[in-house]
Amino acid sequence: MKLKKRNIIYRGKVFDIIVDELEYFDSGNHTIREVVEHPGGAVVLGVLPDNRIILIKQYRYPIDKFIYELPAGKLDYGEDPKVCAIRELEEETGFKPGKVELLTYIYTSPGFCSEKLYIYLAEDLQKRKQNLEEGELLSIEFKSIDEAVEMVLKGEIVDAKSIAGIMIGEKNLETAMGDEIKNGNRQFNVEMKKCIFKGCQGELEEISYYERNNWITVEYQCKKCKRKFTVKIET
């Protein structure tokens, strides 16, 4: 299609609305496309040292309810998405990451909106000061990645960007755990039921067990250092 005329009918704080007048190459017929132009954003799957992830429960005015989400925020125009991810995680949760890795990106509604969201995995988190903007109403919760996946499957997490981040993150963390096991660098010894995180040697207690999609998932907690570990076994 050939662009004949562009009309910016609204400029807002978060997005602009554009109406483009177009011409089809083959027929010469005219049509229009209504586009929401958005600068994009960054989404963060933050993983704590005990392998729990950070969720926020945030009030969203357009739907008039609190929903579970991963921390996220809008890019400033021209901003590096990684910089945005680090900033938003610290502002919303008070955690600053030492390691940030891009998992993927998604287009939220490509039929009418240009919004592109970059999804990051953040690790080596250090507790800093939360710095919420006026009007941001949210609370912080910590869940294992398996608990978060179950929340998605049960319809308790319905935010699309968060669903994408959690489901992709689960596979990424699962692969990392498999590599640790292959390399003999496990932070716990399931057979001996001992935590070996920095020489802890505390006794492990099984706190949850369930089966899903040919996998058995067992969660342990160290009675001494209180760290939680998840073991997945393919059946």
pLDDT tens, residue by residue, 177-235:
444 433 333 444 445 567 765 567 788 888 888 777 777 788 888 888 777 777 777 66
How many independent structural domains does the chain possess?
3
- For residues 37 and 83, give the distance between their C-alpha atoms in angstroms, rounded to a whole number: 21
- For residues 187 and 192, give the distance between their C-alpha atoms in angstroms, rounded to a whole number: 12
- For residues 95 and 47, give the distance between their C-alpha atoms in angstroms, rounded to a whole number: 10
pLDDT of residue 186: 41
User: What is the domain-level CATH number for residue 147?
Assistant: 3.90.79.10
Residues 97 and 197 in one domain: no
Work out whether strand 215-222 and strand 228-234 pair parallel, antiparallel, or are unpaired.
antiparallel
pLDDT of residue 6: 95
Residues 54 and 107 in one domain: yes
Residues 15 and 49 in one domain: no
DSSP 8-class letter at 62: G
Residues 64 and 141 in one domain: yes
- For residues 128 and 40, give the distance between their C-alpha atoms in angstroms, rounded to a whole number: 26
Q: Which residues pair with 205 in a beta bridge?
A: 221
- Percentage of the chain with pLDDT > 90? 64
DSSP 8-class letter at 102: E
pLDDT per position as a tens digit, 38-77: 999 999 999 998 788 999 999 999 999 999 999 999 999 8
Residues 90 and 159 in one domain: yes
Residues 120 and 220 in one domain: no
pLDDT per position as a tens digit, 88-144: 999 999 999 999 999 999 999 999 999 999 999 999 999 998 888 888 899 999 998
pLDDT of residue 185: 38
Active-site residue set: 134
Residues 218 and 116 in one domain: no
Residues 13 and 116 in one domain: no
Residues 198 and 124 in one domain: no
Is there a contact between 55 and 61 (Cβ–Cβ < 8 Å)? no
C-alpha closest to that of 231 among 209, 213, 212: 209
Residues 24 and 88 in one domain: no
| Angle formed at CA 68 by CA 67 and CA 73, multiple of 5 degrees | 95
Is there a contact between 201 and 194 (Cβ–Cβ < 8 Å)? yes
Residues 31 and 117 in one domain: no
Domain extent, residue 217, equals 186-234
Residue with tokens 């005015």: 61
Helix 145-153 / helix 160-183 crossing angle, nearest 10 deg:
140
State yes or no: pLDDT of 4 exceeds 50. yes
DSSP 8-class letter at 76: P
- Of 157, 177, 197, the domain-final residue: 177
pLDDT of residue 178: 45
Residues 19 and 122 in one domain: no
